């Protein structure tokens, strides 16, 4: 094996980890590295625009919640605002997407109850379906580059009889 061939292999071995580290967060998008501190969040009905819940960082918790009748399905718009009043532009082509998960007591201060609702996040909205009567808590996330730039406090979702 020639010296040049060994040098090329060594350079390649060094270049791969460097590329992985540098690509961890996409720096070629139109956004700052990360969204600013979450200052305000609104949860609205996607069809009607009705405000279900709102969060202000100074209050520390959501005011309101999402109420569903058994069997109902609802599409939710979630609006994230930073300390300068900038709204995060959600969508797969926008750099930020919406995440949603069941609340965990150790991380969120309240435990979400499995089986009350089915939920899924799309790039720019969430869908929630009422499966059983009761109350649960979901956490909405502002995702960017494969990680959360901010988790909202737990959002209360209540399912009652029709």
CATH of the domain at 88: 2.60.40.1080
Structural domain includes residue 10: no
Q: What SS3 class is residue 105?
A: helix
Q: Which residues of the chain have pLDDT under 70?
A: 1-36
Is 123 contained in some domain? yes
pLDDT of residue 15: 46
Listed in sequence order, the residues at least 6 apart from 45 whose beta carbon sits closer than 8 Å to its beta carbon are: 52, 74, 75, 76, 77
Whether 71 maps to a domain, the answer reads yes
Q: What is the pLDDT of residue 25?
A: 43
Q: Is residue 75 part of a domain?
A: yes
Of 155, 137, 134, 139, which is closest to residue 70 (Cα–Cα)? 134
pLDDT at site 139: 97
Burial of 82 (0-12, 13-18, 19+ CB in 10 A): buried
Q: What is the pLDDT at residue 2?
A: 63
The pLDDT, as a whole number, for residue 120 is 97
Which of 53, 73, 65, 75 is closest to 130 using CA atoms? 73
Residue 2 lies in a domain: no
Distance of CA 147 to the CA centre of its chain: 9
Determine the structural domain holding residue 48 and report its residue range: 38-160
- Please report whether residue 30 resides in a domain: no
Q: Residue 8 has what pLDDT?
A: 56
Query: What pTM did the predictor assign?
Result: 0.77
Residue 50 within a domain: yes
Position 74 in a domain: yes
Cβ atoms of residues 111 and 58 within 8 Å? no
How many domains does the chain fold into?
1
């Amino acid at each position: 094996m020639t010296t040049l061939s060994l040098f090329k292999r060594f350079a390649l071995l060094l270049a791969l980890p460097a590329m992985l580290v540098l690509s961890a967060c996409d720096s070629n998008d139109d956004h700052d590295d990360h969204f600013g501190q979450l200052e305000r969040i609104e949860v609205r009905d996607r069809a009607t625009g009705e405000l279900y819940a709102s969060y202000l960082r100074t209050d520390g918790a959501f005011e309101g919640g999402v109420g569903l009748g058994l069997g109902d399905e609802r599409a939710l718009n979630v609006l994230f605002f930073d300390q300068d009043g900038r709204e995060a532009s959600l969508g797969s082509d926008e750099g930020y997407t919406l995440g949603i998960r069941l609340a965990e007591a150790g991380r969120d201060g309240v435990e979400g109850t499995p089986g009350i609702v089915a939920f899924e996040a799309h790039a720019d909205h969430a869908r929630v379906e009422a499966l059983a009567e009761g109350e649960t808590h979901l956490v909405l996330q502002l995702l960017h580059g494969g990680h959360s730039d901010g988790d909202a406090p737990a959002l209360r979702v209540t399912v009652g009889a029709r």
